[in-house]
A and B are shown apart, each in its own frame.
Chain A
Amino acid sequence: MINIYINGQQRSILPGKTILEACKESGIHIPTFCYDERLKPEGSCRICVVELEDSHKLLPACTTEIAPEMRIATHSPLVMRMRKHLLEIMLSNHDISCLKCERAGNCLLQDYAYEYDVDIEKYRGRTRESAYLAENKFFELDQSKCISCGKCARICSQLQGNNVWAISNRGFETEVSTPFGIDMEEAGCVHCGNCVSICPVGALKPKKEHKFRAWEINEIQTTCSYCGVGCQMYLQVKDDKVVGVKPAYGKSNEGLLCVKGKFAFDFINHPQRLTTPLLRLADGELHSVSWEEALQLIADKTQEIKNTYGADAIMGLSSARVTNEENYLFMKYMRAVIGTNNLDHCARL
């Protein structure tokens, strides 16, 4: 452990940690845009600068390792002033239509603008003109809101492994696009939406049926039901309807989701969704029946087949959409109750 001082308070921190990590451990909040604990630090947004009390040097907290006896000021007048001006120039190239932005209330730029008491229209001047449109079925890119933090590109290359996004152009015209502006499909996009989830502002957002804002929804943690990985996620619920999905930091997914978990939730409220078992009766039509009736029919038919043709005339096929435990029980049922080894699972195909 090494000794450092954060805002005058002595702290013992493990060597090798960054200033940002040390501050987090000490319960001190430092603003960040381009930082994400899952990604390699980039140090490009510069909002996390802190002051070294001895030299008055400003250093980015996310990329600077702590050193013994370091004296760090996280909110000194100099730091506050620099962060404020930085936010002000960021806002000067940002569409400030927060009144109609769906990320209002859930936007880092908005949060910090409030926290640092910025003068929203202090710096005037031209704004970036972006030509690239991310055309795809699942999400959209509003370049006028993009702050070029690059997290979308980095999560895509470092965690998703698809390298769809490129930070193209230079200088003021820097923008997010696919390499050379090719189609998203061609660029290898699998629409996992992890770039959408990580975007700190209103630049990348899902295309959706229901409008909602942060304060209108409840977030309910659950396990994704699409496969056996067990990704944790929050269902965003407005007026008792699921209107969106946000990844949660579960052990197995660490804040990532796939296209199904992130975007494929509309079936929940779909009018054609099956909500009871259906049984085809003598009239040739499907009729809604109770679970008791349906299960009884399955049990009777299974018994009948087993008695007539033997257990090996029956095969069981299990689904990836159920849990490991349920799959285990199904296996036991087939082998011990039915008495056959004719058993398979869709994920094996």
Chain B
Amino acid sequence: MRDVKSGCTRVLVCAGTCCVSGKAFVIIENFEKELAAAGILDIKVVKTGCFGLCSEGPIVLTQPDDYFYAKVSPQDVKEIVEEHFMQGRPVQRLLYKDASNGEALSLLEADFYKKQHKVALARCGVIDPEKIDDFIEQDGFKALEKALLTMTPGQVVEEIKNSGLRGRGGAGFPSGKKWEFTKNAAGEKKYVVCNGDEGDPGAFMDESILEGDPLSVVEAMAIAGYAIGANEGYIYVRAEYPLAIHRLKIALAQAKERGFLGKNILNSGFDFELSIRYGAGAFVCGEETALISSIEGRKGTPQLRPPYPAVKGLFGCPTLINNVETYANIGKIIMMGAEWFKAMGTAGSPGTKVFALAGNVKNIGLVEVPMGITLREIVYDIGQGIPDGRSFKAAQTGGPSGGCIPIEYIDTPIDYESLGEIGSMMGSGGLIVMDDSKCMVGIAKFFMQFMVEESCGKCAPCRLGLVRIYEALARITDGNGTMEDLQELEELAEMVSSLSFCALGQSAPNPLKTTLRYFKDEYLAHINEKRCPAGECEKLLNYEITSLCIGCRKCLKACPAAAIIGKVKEQHVIDKTKCIKCGACIESCAVKAIIRA
């Protein structure tokens, strides 16, 4: 056996979806191969869930010597094994470094992690999600044991109620109340359902939990079953999450094998079975009644409430539905107590929230922060600000039906009420940062297009209104907008949000409403001046050749529409009637003589 000079005994490789697409599985395979080839037997390769800092993936961590490798490729593995593990010389060029001084940082020293506080994600990136022993080693199933053996169902419900935990799926309804309603509902048969139909574009909080720590959800659902009197549960997860489904299946099989699911769990006399149902990719199936319809094998459309699922839900029985992230908090609350949980976050919104930080921000990834943190802290401290020397323009919280928050409100604390007050919402935790190159009319149009595609078509305002909103926005971004269109948008936004059947339609106009509220001047510029201030709306762009032109004919040759005319060594001109605004001329110009405005 070769001499191992480093202090490393475990090498953790992130196997969340982002890193997997960056060939994390090959990296793991290579580590195993290289370690075996080198005869190193005492370094364990662990395939973990998401670390969160996705923009730096694939990520490799060594423990306990604590080195943090970023953007690792399969070819780098050999070097890490030979240099770091065998010679004790960590590979400097691959280590994650401080942006300001270039010093290598350990995971927890990175700015991205400093303000984070991991509760729901505590085991993600720490354990191998496909090994139940890893989970048990990290206090897994202790909460279930405590609940089943030392607490009455009433005490469990009381604990969750006292914690003040609110539903992490979007609406923020107090979870304990839901548990209590379902517990008190009359009915022999009851169900526990997990909503893993995470449909917001760019959001992957639930995906990461299911991929990184699936057993935490299994444990929480069993606790919920015990508390409300249910012996059966369903995990509804979208079929677009193959890795999450794969790991859930392993988790269920292992939990069953070890007796954490099935008959007479931990000799308590309590039975609980779980199965998985796949969503077919409809955004509306995240709405609880539509989700129930879908599990029952019907078309996923929302149903009338009341009766609420707590009274009459799945197959007509009282049903508890919570989101993945909500369940991921349960084990900790049972173990540490309601008071511990309430000490985090704000009075009205205790605990932490996971956000998928995306868009024009340096650090993209998954973050878990205490409620009440400001948007500024997330964007500038955790996200490390806006890249490419640009400035912050807006942040969209709450997914496609959230609102766009302008710079004036960047110090707003992130909690359910504060976000609602400024026209946005917590939603499930999408957080998209936009820089000053983004056209807000275009943003509203983009989200509206998503909502048009995802409307189930049940109620008239959402089915028809969203299409008309989208069309009016398209007229504006195409330069055909009028002040009547603006008036129509205001009317339609009000009508769709106040008349729609379910939360999808009621919140769908939010991006439109908030951009109208905070960025009205951009709408007016598009309409009155036929100008896109951000320079994004192609049809409103004008290309002009300035006097810097040397008459080299490069642009003339590059133009696919033959819209440029001019003689050699003379200033060229663009024929605006022929120009298709593709931008090929700008790219071809060597002297930067062409401007776009």
Which residues of A pack against B, CB within 8 Å? Answer: 33, 41-47, 49, 58, 63, 82, 85-86, 89-90, 92-93, 122-126, 147-148, 167, 169-174
Q: In whole Å, how far is B483's beta carbon from the nearest beta carbon of chain A? A: 14
CB pair B463 A171 closer than 8 Å: yes
Interface stretch (choices B20-28, B488-496, B564-572)? B488-496
B282 contacts across to A, CB distance below 8 A: 170
The reply to whether B495 and A148 contact each other, CB–CB distance below 8 Å, is: no
Judge if B468 is at the interface, Cβ distance under 8 Å.
yes
Q: How far is the CB of B568 from chain A (nearest CB, A)?
A: 48
Q: How many angstroms from the CA of A123 to the CA of B465 in the assembled complex?
A: 10
Considering the chains assembled together, what is the distance between the CA atoms of A85 and B495 in angstroms? 7
Q: Are B304 and A49 in contact (CB under 8 A)?
A: no
Q: Name the one of A46, A147, A148, A172 contacting B461, with C-beta atoms under 8 angstroms.
A: A46
CB distance from B201 to the nearest CB of A (A): 16
Per the bound structure, the CA–CA distance linking A153 and B499 in Å amounts to 23
The reply to whether A58 and B498 contact each other, CB–CB distance below 8 Å, is yes
Q: Is there an interface contact between A171 and B455, defined as CB atoms closer than 8 Å? A: yes
Q: Cβ of B464 < 8 Å from any Cβ of A?
A: yes
CB closest chain-A residue, reference B453: A171
Whether A123 lies near B501 (C-beta < 8 A) is no
Interface centre among A49, A63, A89 (most CB of B within 10 A): A89
- Cβ distance B270 to chain A, nearest Cβ, rounded Å: 37
Hey, which chain A residues are within 8 Å of B492, CB to CB?
Answer: 85, 89, 123
- Please name the 10 residue pairs, one residue from A and one from B, whose CB atoms are nearest each other, closest first: A174-B457, A171-B455, A125-B471, A89-B464, A46-B499, A85-B495, A171-B457, A44-B459, A172-B467, A58-B498
Contact B499 A44 (CB under 8 A): no
Question: Is there an interface contact between A90 and B457, defined as CB atoms closer than 8 Å?
Answer: no
> Does B460 lie at the interface of the complex (its beta carbon under 8 Å from any beta carbon of A)?
yes
| A172-B455 contact in complex given A43-B304, A92-B468, A126-B471, C-beta closer than 8 Å | yes
User: B304 touching A86 by the CB < 8 A rule?
Assistant: no
B289 CB → nearest A CB, Å: 12
* A125: chain B residues within 8 A (beta carbon): 467-468, 471
CB interface residues, B 433-491, toward A, < 8 Å = 452-461, 463-468, 471, 488, 491
Residues of A within 8 A of B329 (CB): none
B463 touches A174 (CB 8 A): yes
On chain A, the residues within 8 Å of B491 by CB distance are 85
Residue pair B304, A172 in contact (C-beta under 8 Å): no
Asked whether, in the complex, the Cβ of A169 is within 8 Å of the Cβ of B457, the reply is yes
Q: Nearest Cβ distance between residue B285 and chain A, in whole angstroms?
A: 11
- CB of A148, distance to nearest CB on chain B (Å): 7
State the CA gap A93–B461 with chains docked (Å): 12
User: What are 24 contact pairs spanning A and B, CB under 8 A?
Assistant: A44-B460, A45-B459, A46-B461, A46-B499, A46-B500, A82-B498, A86-B460, A89-B461, A89-B465, A89-B492, A92-B464, A123-B468, A123-B488, A125-B468, A125-B471, A147-B460, A167-B457, A170-B455, A170-B457, A171-B452, A171-B454, A172-B466, A174-B456, A174-B458
Bound CA span A45–B500, Å: 9
Q: Which of B270-284 contact A (CB under 8 A)?
A: 282
Residue of A49, A58, A85, A148 with most chain B CB atoms under a 10 A cut-off: A85
Interface pair A126/B467, CB less than 8 Å apart: yes
B299 proximity list for chain A (CB < 8 A): 167
B499 pairs with A58, CB closer than 8 A: yes
Distance in angstroms between the alpha carbons of A202 and B358 in the assembled complex: 49
Give the A-binding residues of B (Cβ under 8 A): 282, 299, 304, 452-461, 463-468, 471, 488, 491-492, 494-495, 498-501
Assuming A63-B304, A172-B455, is B460 touching A89 (CB within 8 A)?
yes
In whole Å, how far is A111's beta carbon from the nearest beta carbon of chain B? Answer: 17
Measured between beta carbons, the chain B residues less than 8 angstroms from A44 are 458-460, 501
A86 adjacent to B495 (CB under 8 Å): yes
Residues in chain B near residue A82, CB distance under 8 A? 494-495, 498-499
The CA-CA distance from A195 to B127 in the complex, in Å, is: 59
B464 and A90 contact, CB distance less than 8 A: yes
Task: Specify the chain B residue showing the minimal Cβ separation from A169.
Answer: B457
Contact residue among B455, B460, B467 (Cβ-Cβ distance under 8 Å from A46)? B460
Contacts of A122 in B (CB 8 A): 488
A112 CA to B441 CA, complexed, in Å = 34
Chain B residues with Cβ under 8 A from A58's Cβ?
498-499
Q: Contacts A42-B304, A63-B304 given; 16 further ones with Cβ under 8 A?
A: A43-B501, A44-B501, A45-B460, A46-B461, A49-B499, A58-B499, A85-B495, A89-B461, A89-B464, A89-B465, A123-B488, A123-B492, A169-B457, A172-B452, A172-B464, A172-B466
B485 to chain A, nearest CB (A): 10
> What's the Cα separation between A256 and B452 when bound, in Å?
37
Cα-based distance from A147 to B478 in the complex (angstroms)? 30
CA distance A123 to B492 in the complex (A): 10
Query: How many angstroms between the C-alpha atoms of A173 and B458 in the bound complex?
Result: 11
Q: Which residues of B contact A169 (CB under 8 A)?
A: 457
In the bound complex, what is the Cα–Cα distance between A45 and B463 (angstroms)? Answer: 10
Residues of B near A85 (CB, < 8 A) are 491-492, 495
A110–B115 Cα distance when bound, in Å, is 60
In the complex, the answer to whether A46 meets B456 with C-beta atoms within 8 Å is no
Residues in A whose Cβ lies below 8 Å from that of B457: 148, 167, 169-174
Residues on B with beta carbons closer than 8 Å to the beta carbon of A172: 452, 455, 457, 463-464, 466-467
Query: How far is B594's CA from A33's CA once the two chains are assembled, in angstroms?
Result: 58
| From A41, A46, A92, A126, contact of B459 by CB (8 A) | A46
Q: How far is the CA of A125 from the CA of B470 in the complex (A)?
A: 10
Q: In the complex, A52 Cα to B595 Cα: how many Å?
A: 56
